[in-house]
Amino acid sequence: MAKVRVLILRVGGTNCDFETEWAFNLAGGIAERVHINQIIKKEKKLKDYQILVIPGGFSYGDDIGAGKVLANEIRLKIWEEIERFIEEKKVILGICNGFQVLVKSGILPFNTKQLVTLEWNDSGRFEDRWVYLKIEENVSPFFKDIPEIIRMPVAHAEGKFLPKNEKVLHKIEKNKQVIFRYCDKDGNLKGYPYNPNGSINNIAGICSEDGLIIGMMPHPERCVLKYYYPDFLKFGNNEIFTPSFKIFQNMIKYFT
Amino acid sequence: MKNNVQVIMNEKFWIVEIFKKKEAFDVFGKEIKKNIKELGILNVEKVRVSNLYKIITDAGKKNIVKIARDLLVDNISEDFKVYRKFKKIKNFWIVEVFFKEGVTDSVGETAKKTIIESGILKKLEVKTGKKYYIKGNLKEKEVKEICEKLLANTLIQNYFIYPKG
């Protein structure tokens, strides 16, 4: 069986591409960091890959608005290829800044014009710490065999999930497109500091209607091994990987 | 201080002002109000913050509106207006902060790049700034202190104060 090829999309200011590449390689894929200009110049073709990842970072320095410039660039320069990628039911993952790109280009939640945004944190600060997440019943195939409550780090200033109106929010909730929500260690939905940014309904990540396009503010690539946890000694000796690593494994497994 | 950004002879420009919609929370306005009070200026009632894009071009308003709507604004949380001159607002002091001539404006450069790549305009310059609306029973001296200590880095930025309308 041919290995699953993963394209990690780079632009100026991307800074989580190495970790993401490492995580996907560790999960059994062949990951490659590709600059957007290589796709524009047709040196690399999206159709040769099964998974597209827009990693975390500060694309174009977050100028104008986080993810806004890259979202414009995707719409203006490589939209045909992205559309074909989506039509072929391939997987797109946006982490942190990548999530901002996916919502600002309208790819999430319904691949229409922009319907949700990720606003400045209510605290007005960059929130960089561990959070608890409660995995919801969702349509995505990548969150199976993962405990209901997991921990991941967040690191963002613009992560407050804000839909255009109640109707959009209701549709996302009804379609089971919410992947996980910020919560306390027992899974109760609470406000700040558990919800680091003031997200509506504590939403931390969503997926498309078919579950194959994923956007999330927390960074699974920053907690692949148990040693990344501040209290890793609590884990058993035989456990090495964290539950969030399972997301990468499930994505690779989906194509094999 | 003399207004040397707004009035440069024979320069054609538009200002795109981007501000938060009511349903989105103006977190910077809240923070700045808190910071002003920490300076010991307690009469401040409300602060609102907008982002300014000064687009230097011969193009008409229609193109600028398209640029703002399609490229600069987050249509969910932000709204915008396009103008050359603005009206003073009752009860609000207005402060504008722009970079001094010769200081690199990296957000302006990025905005210029994205506008040219969109094909809407071919030749233009973009300068970015901030606009602050400050409500309260303040004297000009106090507003100047707010600008010097809080809103502008006078080494690289100019500020312009417009008294209450």
pLDDT in tens, B85-117: 888 888 899 999 999 999 999 999 999 999 999
* Structural domains counted in chain B: 1
Does B115 fall in a domain? Answer: yes
pLDDT in tens, A177-203: 999 999 999 999 999 999 999 999 999
Q: Which of B31, B55, B69, B114 has the highest number of chain A CBs within 10 A, making it the mutation to test binding with A?
A: B114
Determine which one of A96, A183, A207, A223 is catalytic. Answer: A96
Give the pairing of strands A203-207 and A213-216: antiparallel
Is A156 an active-site residue?
no
- Cβ contacts below 8 Å, chain A against chain B, sum to 62
Residue B82 is encoded by which pair of tokens? 């396009």
Query: Is B5 domain-assigned?
Result: no
Q: Is the pLDDT of residue B150 over 60?
A: yes
Out of A60, A69, A162, name the one closest to residue B76 (CB).
A162
* pLDDT level of residue B8 (50, 70, 90 thresholds): low
Q: Is B84 a domain residue?
A: yes
Range of the domain at B88: 13-162
Q: In this structure, are residues A217 and A96 in contact, taking their beta carbons and an 8 Å threshold?
A: yes
A176 touching B, CB under 8 A? no
B118/A contact by beta carbon, under 8 A: yes
pLDDT at A239 over 90: no
Distance between A136 CA and the closest CA of chain B, angstroms: 25
Residue B121 falls inside a structural domain: yes
Across chain B, mean pLDDT equals 91
pLDDT computed for residue B2 by the predictor: 45
Contacts of A122 in chain B (CB under 8 A): 25, 27
Phi-psi region of A187 (alpha: psi -120 to 50; beta: other; left: phi over 0): left
Quick check: B28 and A124 CB within 8 A?
A: yes
- Does residue B123 lie in a domain region? yes
Mapping DSSP onto H, E and C, the string for chain A reads CCCCEEEEEECCCECCHHHHHHHHHHCCCEEEEEEHHHHHCCCCCHHHCCEEEECCECHHHHCCCCCHHHHHHHHHHCHHHHHHHHHCCCEEEEECHHHHHHHHCCCCCCCCCCCEEEEECCCCCCEEEEEEEEECCCCCHHHCCCCCEEEEEEEECEEEEEECCHHHHHHHHHCCCEEEEEECCCCCCCCCCCCCCCCHHHEEEEECCCCCEEEECCCHHHCCEHHHCCCHHHCCCCCCECCCHHHHHHHHHHCC
Question: Which tens digit of pLDDT belongs to each residue from B33-74?
Answer: 999 999 999 999 999 999 999 999 999 999 999 999 999 999
| B152 close contact with A: CB closer than 8 A | no
Residue B32 DSSP label? H
- Is residue B4 situated within a structural domain? no
Task: Among B27, B111, B117, select the one facing A122 at the smallest CB separation.
Answer: B27
Closest by Cβ to B76, choosing from A63, A69, A116? A116
Q: What are the pLDDT digits (tens) for A83-105? A: 999 999 999 999 999 999 999 99
* CA B21, chain centre distance (Å): 16
CATH of the domain at B132: 3.30.1280.10
B3 lies in a domain?
Answer: no
- State yes or no: pLDDT of A71 exceeds 70: yes
**Residue B63 within a domain:** yes
Average pLDDT over residues A225-249: 90
The structural domains of chain A, ordered by start, are 5-254 (3.40.50.880)
- As for the ipTM of the complex, it is 0.87
